[in-house]
Amino acid sequence: MNPRGRGAGRVIAGSARGIALRAPGEGTRPLGDRVKQALFAILEPEVRGGRFLDLFAGSGGGGIEALSRGAAEAVFVERDKGAIEVIEQNLVAAHLRDRARVVRADAIAWLAGPGRTSGTFAAVLADPPYEAGHDLGRTLQLIAEAGPDAILATDGVVVAKHASKAPPAPRIGLLRSVRERQFGDTTLTFYRWADEEDG
């Protein structure tokens, strides 16, 4: 069991580089430093100057890394009250609160409702609990159903973090898997919009 407030790694690069992040309590799986470094090595062109959406945000490590690297804004969606408090603490510690919006909501319900009118995001990180695998599929489906430039920008990218043994579908509507990076039992799958006629 992990006590509330244990570490969630550090900010890897940017204005908040080296800041230690807190994590919520047991049951969360923070974005580890090695995974975070690989993720943002790929995402940085989308992140800089764009809007970042951190779904099932946990400690907020993904969105905070994006802000540190120059994202214009990050929106954190998390339903757990304790996790929301930790995100707020981490944002303050990283001096990034002014470009963040923290939403306490179920990510699925938010995507189906307010998320559709919350503006377009250049990059989306979806990191639901591994035991709730159906949440990832539903998340991707809702983004796909909204269509290009609704939740996800036409040239944007969705990153699904999931158990390596339980990959999401390679194609959901017009969202198509374009890259995978595996780290033991964790895999990152990257989705971009495909053309209508692209099979």
- pLDDT tens-digit map of 85-120: 999 999 999 999 999 999 999 999 999 999 999 999
Query: Residues near 78 by Cβ (< 8 Å), separated by ≥ 6?
Result: 56, 57, 58, 60, 84, 87, 102, 103, 104, 105, 107
Residue 11: its pLDDT value, please?
Answer: 96
- Which helix or strand (DSSP H or E) is residue 178 part of? strand 175-183
The half-sphere exposure of 14 on its side-chain side, counting CA atoms within 13 A, is: 23
pLDDT tens digits along 18-41: 999 999 876 567 788 889 999 999
Residue 195: its pLDDT value, please?
Answer: 78
Q: What is the pTM of this model?
A: 0.93
pLDDT band at 168 (very low <50, low <70, confident <90, very high): very high
Q: Is 148 helix (H, G, I), strand (E, B) or coil?
A: coil
Q: How far apart are CA 70 and CA 50, in angstroms?
A: 8
